[in-house]
Amino acid sequence: MPIALYGFLMFPDVPTTTKAFYLSEEERLLSCERLESEKDKDISHGHLSWGIFRRVLGRWRWYGCSLLFAISGESESLGSNNLMGQWLKAIGGFTVPQIDYYPSGMTAFAIVSTLVCATWTDATHSRARWPVLVYMAIAGIVAAICILVWSSPIGLKFFAYYLAGATYAGQATTFAWANQICADDHQERAVVLASMNMWNNVINAWWPLVFYPATDAPRFTKGMWAMIGTCLATLVVTWLVWFLERREKRGRAQQQVTDGMVEKRSTEGAEDEKSVSRRSQESV
């Protein structure tokens, strides 16, 4: 009910009819102008066809974005599997309420990291999303190493588990990045976003059973090594997606320059023909 009420109050409706209190009249008009400027684009949901799949599978976007979230999503395993709660219970010395409440610090840091990272990336001119994935991957690696070194103080392990909350920051950022990458094709964007969720769930169905079984508590040695490997793989795939996106933008920019030169030459040619025609008429 709280989520439903939040959605009812906060979703802005369409630009032409919105009465959202957080949108100024200028912002509402800008939204209408953006829709008007895209009226020639196909923004309808359309129907599924083989043409859509050929278009999606013929580009790198589906592969890159799906792989990115399938891997980076598993960096959240320390929080999603409540490893801290199992650790506190196994080492003893903590009451049941403490075992229940102390892991909430990880959730709190996850919320703060997500809000700060999302706000920062939206506020920057380039809207680069990859730094957030680098941040969460490094945080995950540091946290896993601190927990692997079992002789480290309990306070350091608390710090490590709370730091692992930073891995949640990549979820919102990864989907925002995919939205940016597929902004020119609404149907492809829908397929890519759904695929990202699907592949993450496919991996997540067996990942905790293999790397984070309850029998491995409190050390979770396999899981910590899996975390390090996941974060390193996230860094590699992040670089790959960044490289492919950058190459695509360069190719698009070069194509626009080429098209502009061709159009300019055509215009100049047409003007030359008109000039020759006028001179011929004048000479006659």
The pLDDT value recorded for residue 274 is 63
Q: What tokens does 228 get?
A: 């390090």
Is residue 178 a contact partner of residue 189, using CB atoms and an 8 Å limit? yes
The answer to whether residue 283 scores a pLDDT higher than 80 is no
- Whole-model pTM above 0.85? no
Q: What is the mean pLDDT of residues 207-226?
A: 92
Q: Residue 135's pLDDT band (boundaries 50, 70, 90)?
A: very high
* Dist. CA 177–CA 184, nearest whole Å: 13
**Rounded Cα gap, residues 214 and 204, in angstroms:** 16
Collapse the DSSP code of 42 into the 3-class scheme (helix H, G, I; strand E, B; otherwise coil) and give the result.
Answer: coil
Q: What is the pLDDT of residue 48?
A: 61
Write out pLDDT tens, residues 152-206: 999 999 999 999 999 999 888 999 999 999 988 888 898 999 999 999 999 999 9
Name the CA dihedral angle for 171, 70, 128, 159, rounded to a multiple of 10 degrees.
50
**How much is the average pLDDT of 60-66?**
94
Cβ neighbours, 10 Å, residue 189: 19
284 pLDDT higher than 60: no
Of the CATH numbers 2.70.98.50, 1.20.1250.20, 1.10.260.40, 3.40.50.1220, which one belongs to the domain with range 60-254? 1.20.1250.20
**Separation CA 200–CA 70 (nearest Å):** 4
DSSP characters for 147-190?
HHSTTS-HHHHHHHHHHGGGGGHHHHHHHHHHHHHTTT-HHHHH
CA 241 to chain centre: 11
Crossing angle (nearest 10°) for helices 154-163 and 130-148:
160
Residue 218 · residue 91 · CB < 8 Å: yes
Q: Please give the pLDDT value at position 125.
A: 78
Cα separation, 66 vs 75, in Å, equals: 15
Task: Work out the burial of residue 204: count CB atoms within 10 Å of its CB; fewer than 13 is exposed, 13-18 middle, 19 or more buried.
Answer: middle
Q: Using an 8 Å Cβ cutoff, are 223 and 76 in contact?
A: no
pLDDT tens-digit series, residues 87-106: 999 888 899 999 999 999 99
The pLDDT tens digits for 224-256 are 999 999 999 999 999 999 999 999 988 888 877
- 279 three-class SS: helix
Q: Which residues contact 248 (CB under 8 A, 6 or more apart)?
A: 60
Helix axis angle for 83-91 and 154-163, nearest 10°, is 170
Mean pLDDT score, 54-63 = 91
If you average pLDDT over residues 66-76, what whole number do you get?
94
**What are the domain boundaries of the chain?**
60-254
